[in-house]
């Protein structure tokens, strides 16, 4: 049995915050604003997994009014979601994700992001695709007001 989930996550860019995407801290004058580390890529992947399992959204499991999740490492949140997935006897088939950010360039960081995601999801890197695109100076992405990520996951029921 297969299940598919998809999600989009958006965060505002702000000075004085770290830019963390895919569990990688990236040098930049702005970072993503959120209750946790605001890693929109990992949030989109986590929520896509939850969606595939019909378990609601990320906020219902890790509410932004809960002090336990203040500045939380999103790799840890993804790991917890993966444990929920495994408890239901599913495994990652594949993940296809897209980062939307005007700058900085993501290409130098994508391999490390894929490795972080594969590690947290207990799958191989060849099951994880991460791509990036710019806003071409259009909209909130292009005007560098925020960043977004989209993810689609395929889960496979494990035998036994």
Q: What gap in Å lies between CA 46 and CA 108, rounded to an integer?
A: 23
- The answer on whether 9 is annotated among ligand-binding residues is yes
Q: Which residues contact 54 (CB under 8 A, 6 or more apart)?
A: none
- 3-class SS of residue 160: coil
- The answer on whether 64 is annotated among ligand-binding residues is yes
- The answer on whether 63 is annotated among ligand-binding residues is yes
Q: Do 151 and 99 contact (CB within 8 A), yes or no?
A: no
- The answer on whether 73 is annotated among ligand-binding residues is no
- The answer on whether 2 is annotated among ligand-binding residues is no
- The answer on whether 54 is annotated among ligand-binding residues is no
- The answer on whether 59 is annotated among ligand-binding residues is yes
Q: What does the longest C-alpha to C-alpha distance in the chain come to?
A: 51
- The answer on whether 62 is annotated among ligand-binding residues is yes
- The answer on whether 67 is annotated among ligand-binding residues is no
Which among 98, 108, 112, 110 has a CA at the least distance from the CA of 141? 98
Please name every residue paired with 90 in a beta bridge, in sequence order, or none if there are none.
157
- The answer on whether 109 is annotated among ligand-binding residues is no
Taking residue 34's Cβ as centre, other Cβ atoms within 10 Å add up to: 22
- The answer on whether 108 is annotated among ligand-binding residues is no
141 CB-side CA count, 13 A? 15
- The answer on whether 79 is annotated among ligand-binding residues is no
- The answer on whether 47 is annotated among ligand-binding residues is no
Binding residues: 9-11, 35-36, 43, 57-59, 62-66, 101-107, 140, 143
Binding residues for a divalent metal cation: 9, 11, 43
């Amino acid at each position: 049995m297969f299940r598919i989930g998809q999600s989009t996550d958006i965060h505002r860019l702000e000075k004085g915050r770290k830019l963390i995407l895919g569990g990688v801290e990236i040098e930049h004058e702005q970072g993503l604003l959120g209750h946790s580390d605001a890693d929109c890529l990992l949030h989109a992947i986590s929520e896509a997994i939850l969606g595939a399992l019909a378990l609601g959204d990320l906020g219902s499991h890790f509410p932004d009014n809960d002090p336990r999740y203040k500045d939380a490492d999103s790799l840890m949140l993804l790991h917890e979601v993966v444990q929920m997935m495994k408890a239901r006897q599913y495994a990652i088939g594949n993940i296809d994700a897209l980062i939307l950010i005007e700058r900085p360039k993501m290409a130098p960081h994508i391999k490390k992001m894929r490795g972080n995601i594969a590690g947290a999801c207990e799958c191989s890197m060849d099951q994880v695709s991460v791509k990036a695109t710019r806003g071409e100076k259009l909209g909130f992405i292009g005007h560098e007001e925020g960043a977004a990520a989209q993810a689609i996951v395929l889960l496979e029921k494990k035998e036994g």
